Every structure is written in structure tokens, then in C-alpha cells.
Amino acid sequence: MYPLQLTVNGTDHDVVVDPRRTLLDLVRETLHLKGPKKGCDHGQCGACTMIVNGRRTNSCLSLALSHAGDKVTTVEGLANGGAMHPLQQAFIEQDAFQCGFCTSGQLCSAMALIDELKEEIPSAVTGEGP
């Protein structure tokens, strides 16, 4: 077991974790945030997507200990107090949430994508990537 400090949705956490534990399992089972879902557990479905230091991360494939000192945002962290983030509201208004299981990952992925575009980070879509 190893000590780990990270910030999740603006709150600092000091926890002790098994080195084999994923970020997803830490957030769901230790911090009791149920927004991120364990879907395929292979990094293919995106239901577990969180934003780590501004970048999209498949948390089911990422070991918790590799995130020492990181800032993690889950779908719960997108809202501002009791008010939904405009992106969350748009998902509801446009009926984009399907069954809802993967919606949290879609929201985190979309939020990070919007932030990447604002920062003019190149991607495969812009044609400026590696």
C-alpha cells in the first residue's frame, strides 16, 4: 500500500492505495463518486473517461499511483454547485444522453475537447497533429 495525494473535483484527497488499483476504482470505490462508469474495462468504450490535468483519460487503464499531485475532474466536477454546466444542460435539451451509462464519459470527453480547441491544441481533426 502506498500514499497518494491528488485533487478530485477541486477537493484534495490523501489516500493509501494498492499499486494495482486503477484511477477509476479509486474514484468509485474509495471516493464514492459514481459518475464515471466501468464499462468494458479495456479503454474502448469511454464510459470511464475523466479529465486529468486538462486531458481526456481512460481511467480504467490508468493506475491511480501515476496520478500523484494531479487534478482530476469527473462528471460531478463539471457542475457549478447546484447548477449544471451548460454542456450538461445541452445534453439534456438535445436528448444526447441515450441510456445514460456512458454519458458521464461523453461529457468529460466533450468538455476536454472544447478546452483543447480553445487552447488551439492540434488534433487529428485540425490536421496539425503529429
Angle at 72 between CA 128 and CA 3, to 5 degrees: 125
Instruction: Write the class of the CATH domain 2-118.
Output: alpha beta
Q: Who's near 95: CB < 8 A, 6+ residues apart? A: none
Residue of 120 and 104 predicted with greater confidence: 104
Taking 80 as the threshold, does the pLDDT of residue 128 lie above it? Answer: no
> Model confidence over 59-85: pLDDT tens digits?
999 999 999 999 999 999 998 888 889
* pLDDT score, position 119: 81
Taking 90 as the threshold, does the pLDDT of residue 130 lie above it? Answer: no
* Residue (of 45, 43, 75, 44) closest to 59 by Cα position: 43
Q: Where are the domains of the chain?
A: 2-118
The DSSP H or E segment spanning 115 is helix 103-118
Per-residue b or e along 80-106, where b marks 16 or more CB atoms closer than 10 Å to that residue's CB: eeeeeeeebeebeeeeeeeeeebbbbb
